[in-house]
Structure 1
Amino acid sequence: MVRKKALIIGINYFGTDNELGGCINDCDNVRNFLVNDRGFSGTSHDMVVMADVPENEGTPFYPTGANILAAIKWLVTWNQPGDILWLSYSGHGSQVRDPDRSTGFSDTICPVDFAENGQITSEILHRSIVTPMNPQCRLTILFDCCHSGSAAELPYVYRPDADGNVNMVDTIKKGLGLVHAAGDLLEGGFSIEKLDDAKMLLGGATDFFNGLHHRRNQEVGEDGLALENFEEHWETEGKDVWMFSGCADDQTSADTSIAGAATGAMSWVFIATMREYPEQSYINVLQNTRQELAKKYSQIPQLSCGGEYDLDQNLLL
């Protein structure tokens, strides 16, 4: 028998300079959507809701970093083939300094105790969520936070443009493409402008490769780039993971008010889109959320996958 499990996290950071208004409302909205529209059980055996409300303090449901990682372990382990899993997070997303990345930063999410005990990096999230997953289960992730595009470091990323066309932003292929573009640019004559443009392209490629954050010792070419060899071959893990994120890595995600209630824009739009069209393909969901968000917000939603999957199949939830 197929089991459905869900972990829903919302953090408002009450009483701090970082306070948000809509993240716990997002929890309630997501829970109601999963139970009422998608057949999830709301019992504690199958669904964990974590929020920084007073009654949760001192319990496993208070969203500290340690509690979040423990709940993620509950979600992705002890599952049977065919189980359907859900993970959503509404709260602050940020970046921390990371000397191993050419950008100098790593994307993070911020537990309620992040000021005391630190943030959770995208690499930790990947190793906690994706790596231990049963490949015969399907996990859908919804991240409504800033800098969320690669929050779980899934290797295949899709982003819609203003016209609804969806393009793959595969980090490996994109990095190689930038290298080739830089080489093509310098063919046929030299100029300072061309050299500057080529340096910019190569710098972008370095960001892509280093941003994968899991290289192993290897030969490095004259351009400083290490291609294709990775300590963790996350692009070949083949885990059935689909993540909708509210924005790209360099964008912020709106905390807004809809129908008089504070909420995250991406969470609201995702649920509204799924309720209006319950049987949608993954690419349709991405296009429709992009269309709705574009009416009021500049953030661009993304879809990231654990493999090169058929985006025309219906969202399984």
Structure 2
Amino acid sequence: MPRRKALIIGINYYGSEHALKGCINDAYNIRQFLVEERGFSPDQRDMVMLTDEPKNEGTPFYPTGQNLIAAFKWLVSYNNPGDSVWLSYSGHGGQVADDYGDRESGFNDTICPVDFETNGQITSSTLHKLIISPMNPYARLTILFDCCHSGSAVELPYTYRPDADGNINLVNNLKEGVHLAMEASNLLQGGFSMDRLDDARSFVAEAATFFHSLHHQPEEADEQGLVDEGFHENWRNEAKDAWMFSGCADGQTSADTSIRGRATGAMSWAFMNVMRENPQQSYLDVLANTRYLIQQHYSQIPQLSVGGEYDLSQPVSF
């Protein structure tokens, strides 16, 4: 029988100057959504959740870089044809210097484990090698990334982005020149309601400090032979059945906000609302409708990245 596996990650960075509020809520909301509406089993053999809640500290469920790498390996191991695999991440995303010259921008996208300030970030190239390359090509992988700079988070070769008119366009996110939005004035345009401008200004100032402070440091992955060795053109020909909805383009930030008084990530909230509205929508419809819902309040543009040249009009399946 086909199996369903899920890895759900939410990091609030408690006690740090870069603390977020909604990422652990995102993890629990996604867990509920998968179990109650998509038929996933909450059994720990099938579903693993990593959060930086105090109860998890010192356990394999605390999202350090080392634990994340172990969890990624678990997720993509022993997959068979017909299996459905889910990965979601809600936390900080960043960019680090591209030491190998593959990127015209000079930067690689990253995710930030809870211990990133001491042990470094995990780059998009490393994520591809850990998650995409080992996947069974006949098992479907669905990824939801709710973090800044998430457009190329796992280096899938085909990326689609909706424009202001709702048209879906193919963009080249591999070796595409992107520009970092490092200035505070560009970090969070329209990310808060008008009655919370003071909060918005405060968040923008903190975010600018955060992104300016990111530096590439040695990663746990380096010791496991997963360091970046340059972009591999054959990644475009892997044709893995992988579909990633990401909260924004490479050069954008993703809002950590509040919906009905509860902290959440804008992308996680929008994606689940769109899927609940009509579970039978196509990939194109989900992307367009998520974009429509987000643009009512935020400037970030969600994207859909795919592991091959697949029919985007097919119903979303995971």
Unaligned runs of 5+ in 1: 176-212, 216-229
Hey, what does 2:137 align to over in structure 1?
A: 135
1:206-236: CA deviation from partner (whole Å, max 9, x where unpaired): xxxxxxx876xxxxxxxxxxxxxx7440110
Give the match for residue 153 of structure 1: 155
Residue 38 (structure 2) pairs with residue 38 (structure 1): yes
CA distance in structure 1 between the partners assigned to 2:55 and 2:256 by the alignment? 24
Local SS of the residue matching 2:244: strand
Give the C-alpha shift of residue 99 in structure 1: 3.0
Cα distance in 1 for partners of 2:67, 2:307 equals 25
| 1:92 and 2:92 matched | yes
The equivalences for 1:183-202 within 5 A come to: none
Output one character per residue of 1:152-211: Cα deviation in whole Å (capped at 9) or x when no partner. 000100000111110111347979xxxxxxxxxxxxxxxxxxxxxxxxxxxxxxxxxxxx
Where structure 2 has 5 or more consecutive residues not aligned to the other structure, the ranges are: 178-227
Which residue is 2:261 aligned to? 260
Deviations along 1:115-139, one digit per CA (max 9) or x if unpaired, are 1100000000000000000001000
| Alignment CA distance shift 1:82-1:107 (3 Å) | same
Could you say if the C-alpha distance between residues 173 and 99 of structure 1 is closer, same or farther in structure 2, counting changes exceeding 3 Å?
closer
Paired residue for 1:123? 125
TM-score (norm 2): 0.81
CA deviations 1:230-271 (Å, max 9, x no partner) are 744011001000000000000000000001100000000000
In the TM superposition, what is the alpha-carbon distance from 1:85 to its structure 2 partner?
A: 0.4
Give the match's secondary structure for 1:149: coil
Indicate if the aligned counterparts of 1:8 and 1:31 stay in contact, CA closer than 8 A: yes
**Residues 53 and 81 (structure 1), Cα distance of their counterparts in 2 relative to 1, 3 Å cut:** same
What is the match of residue 14 of structure 2?
14
Per-residue deviation, 1:97: 1.7
Q: How does 1:264-283 map to 2 (within 5 A)?
A: 264-283=265-284
C-alpha separation in 2, matches of 1:119 and 1:171: 20
1:96 deviation in Å? Answer: 1.2
Bigger radius of gyration among the two = 1
Q: Determine if contact 2:152/2:173 at 8 Å carries over to the other structure.
A: no
Instruction: State the alpha-carbon separation in 1 of the partners of residues 141 and 286 from structure 2.
Output: 16
Q: 2: CA distance between counterparts of 1:171 and 1:112? A: 27
CA RMSD of aligned residues (A): 1.5
Could you tell me which amino acid in structure 2 is paired with residue 143 of structure 1?
F
Number of residue equivalences: 266
C-alpha spacing 1:160/1:42, structure 2 compared with 1 (3 Å): same
Give the match for residue 82 of structure 1: 82
What code does the residue aligned with 2:44 have? S
* TM-score with structure 1 setting the length: 0.81
DSSP-derived class of the 2:269 partner: helix
Aligned to 2:252: 251
1:113 is aligned, of 101, 115, 127, to 115
